[in-house]
Amino acid sequence: MSESLYDLLKRDVGKMVNGLGDNERGNIYPLVIQEVEKYLIDLVLQETENNYFRAARVLGISRSTLYRKINSLDMAHKPLHDPSTKDLT
């Protein structure tokens, strides 16, 4: 049985928050949102074979917003995952 997104985030983000200890920097919310956005955009771009129009439609945002997010997240031409390791399950 696969875990829900909530359960995955609860476990993994919980580890991140619990591990802050003396190194608490604050602003954890934007950090988490940024990492989730990067991962989601990367996955959708892979699935749509880098078709920005289709990716924007899947994400429910405009193509210009997608371009803006890619640039602001410093993702341009930097896939987060090796396409040859695509999960085939």
What's the pLDDT score for residue 88? 46
Give the predicted TM-score (pTM) of the model.
0.69
22: pLDDT confidence band, cut at 50, 70 and 90? low
The larger pLDDT score, comparing residue 64 to residue 78, is at: 64
Distances (CA, A) of 44 to 13, 57, 63: 22, 10, 13
**Backbone φ and ψ of 48, nearest 5°:** -95, 10
Distances (CA, A) of 50 to 16, 23, 62, 74, 84: 31, 38, 15, 16, 15
The larger pLDDT score, comparing residue 71 to residue 88, is at: 71
Average pLDDT on 68-82 reads 74
Tokens 């989601």 sit at which residue? Answer: 40
Q: Is 2 helix (H, G, I), strand (E, B) or coil?
A: coil
Indicate if the pLDDT at residue 38 is higher than 70: yes
Domain parsing of the chain, residue ranges = 27-89
Distances (CA, A) of 43 to 14, 15, 19: 23, 23, 27
The larger pLDDT score, comparing residue 67 to residue 19, is at: 67
Q: Does domain 27-89 have CATH number 3.10.20.340?
A: no
